Amino acid sequence: MSEENKHRATAAAILPLVGGAANVTSVAHCMTRLRLGLRDRSLVQEEALTALPAVMGVVEDDTYQIVLGPGAVARVTPEFEALVAAERAGAPEEPAAPAAPAGGSDPVTAEELAAQGAALRAERKARNATPFKLFLRRIANIFVPLIPALIGCGIIAGLNGLLVNLGRLPGLTPALAAIASGFMALIAVFVGYNTAKEFGGTPILGGAVASIIVYAKVADVEAFGQHLSPGQGGVLGALAAACLGVYVEKRCRRWVPESVDVLVTPTVTVLVSGLATLFGLMFLAGEVSSWIGDAADWLLAHGGAGAGLLLGGLFLPLVMLGLHQALIPIHTTLIEGAGFTVLLPILAMAGAGQVGAALAIYLRLPRNTSIRTTIKSALWPGFLGVGEPLIYGVSLPLGRPFVTACAGGAFGGAFVGLFNQLGTDVGSTAIGPSGWALFPLLDGNHGLAQTIAVYAAGLLVGYVGGFVATYWFGFTKTMLAELNVAPDAPAPASPAPVATEERVTEKV
C-alpha cells in the first residue's frame, strides 16, 4: 500500500469510530495529535479506536486528541478533512453507536488499564477546566501553530552552525543563516496574528500592531528616557500589543456606526494599540523578557542539579494539571533571546523516565501478555518523545509506576542540570520534539558534540533511573499477584484487589 493510501485508510478507519462526520465540529492537528471537536463524545468507540495500528493513544481535553505521531498526523489530517467534507456533501448514515464494553476476565489487562486511563483523563479534564487553566490553554493555542516553523528553522540553524564550525561551503552558509533567521526575526508578527485570532479580533490587525515591534525605525522612538530597539519586547510584547488591539477593536465595533466602521475601526485599533506599544508595552515587555532570561540563567547556574531534579520530576504532573502550557511563552522568549531554551532538554528527561519504567513493567509482568503487547507497541514512540501511549495506557492507570517513572525523569533532569551548573549549557533551538527527536535541534555554548553527549547521557540516566525505581519500588506484592497473570487465566484469590489498585491510582 502506498503512503498516500495508507494515510487515507487510517483516516477512513478513524472517522466512523468518532461518530462519523455529523459528530465532528472541527479538525486540527499539532505535532503529534489529530485534534477533533466532537458534538457527542459518547459516540466515540475508544476501545476500537485505540486498537487501530496507527493510533498510539487518545487524550481527552477541550478537544478529543488522537495521538498519531510526528509526520503521520500531518498526512492523515487532510485525508480526514476530505472524508468529513465528502460525507457531509453526501447522505451520511447515522453515527454508529459505541460498542458495548466487552466483559473482561478477572486478571487486569491492557484494555482495563486503557479504561482506567480514560477515566483518569476525564477526571483530569474536569479538574483543569478552571478559568486560569483555560486561559493558559488559549495562550498555548497561540504558540502551538508556530512549532513546525520553529523546528524547521532550528534544524537549518544547527546545520548552518555545523558547516561554519567545519569551515565547509562558505558560499552557502550565509543563505542558510538567512533562511534560519528569517522566521525568528518576524515571529512577533505571527504571534500577534494568532493572538487576535484566538481572542476574537481581526487576525491581520493583530499582526499589524505586532509588526511595529520588529520595524527598524522604532530605534528613532524614545520611551522612558531611552531609545527603543527593533524587536524589543519580543513575543511577549507582541502578545500584549495584540491583546490590547483586540480590546480596542471590540470597543470600536460596539460604538462606531456601521456606515464608517470599515474606515474608523481599523484606524483607531492600529493607532491606539500602536502608540501604547511604542510608549509602554515594548519597554515593559523587554524588561520582562530580560528578567526571564536572567532568571533561567541564575536558576541553572546556582542550583542546576536541584532545579533539574524538580523540573524533570514534576513536569508530567504539571502536564496532568494543565500548567505546562505556561512554559511555552517562556521557551519562545528564551529561544528569541539566546537562540535556544535550556529548559526543554531538562523537561525531556520526564519522557526518558517513562520509557525506563515501561521496560521495568515489561520485565516484572512476564505472564501478562496483554500489558506487554501494549508496552511493545508504545515503546518506540516513547523513545521518540511521544509519551502519551505509555502514560495513559500503562504507567498512570497502574499508579505507583507513574510515580517511579517521574523519579527517573528527576534523575535525568538533575544530570543535565548539573552540567548547566558546571557551565555546559544544553539547549534546544525549537520546542515540540522530545526524546531522540530532539537531537537535531540541540545547541549549546561548548560545541555540538559536547551538547549531544550530555543530552544522550541524561537520557540514559533517565532510562536507568526510571527502570530501577520501577523495578524495585513500582509494585506491591498485591499488585504483582493481581497483574502478573495471563489474561485467560483465573485471577488469584485476594481481598478486593481492584479496589486496592484504585486506591493506589488515586494517590498519584
Catalytic residue set: 30
Helices (H) and strands (E) in the chain, counts: 22, 8
Cell 506599544 maps to which residue?
Answer: 277
Residue type, 379: L
Report the alpha-carbon distance of residue 153 to residue 428 in Å, rounded.
12
Q: What is the DSSP letter of 436?
A: G
Q: Positive or negative, the Cα torsion across 106, 108, 114, 118?
A: positive
Query: Which set of grid coordinates corresponds to residue 10?
Result: 487510517
Report the alpha-carbon distance of residue 7 to residue 53 in Å, rounded.
12
Report how far apart, in Å, the C-alpha atoms of 130 and of each of 125, 134, 216, 256, 326 are.
10, 6, 41, 34, 14
Query: Which set of grid coordinates corresponds to residue 256?
Result: 462606531
Q: Positive or negative, the Cα torsion across 424, 144, 141, 391?
A: negative
- Taking Cα atoms as reference points, which of 386, 311, 335 lies closest to residue 32? 386
Report the alpha-carbon distance of residue 267 to residue 356 in Å, rounded.
57
Q: Judging by beta carbons within 10 Å of its beta carbon (0-12, 13-18, 19+), is residue 78 exposed, middle or buried?
A: middle
504 in Cβ contact with 399 (< 8 Å): yes
Report how far apart, in Å, the C-alpha atoms of 197 and of each of 68, 200, 207, 443, 485 are.
27, 5, 10, 32, 53
* Residue 379 neighbours by CB under 8 Å, 6+ apart: 355, 358, 359, 390
295 in Cβ contact with 105 (< 8 Å): no
Report the alpha-carbon distance of residue 278 to residue 218 in Å, rounded.
8
Report how far apart, in Å, the C-alpha atoms of 155 and of each of 38, 354, 429, 452, 458 are.
35, 26, 8, 14, 21
Mapping DSSP onto H, E and C, the string for 369-381 reads HHHHHHHHHHHHH
Angle, CA of 449, 455 and 460, to the nearest 5°: 125
Q: How many CB atoms lie within 10 A of CB 118?
A: 20
397 in Cβ contact with 116 (< 8 Å): yes
Q: Which residues are bridge partners to 195 per DSSP?
A: none
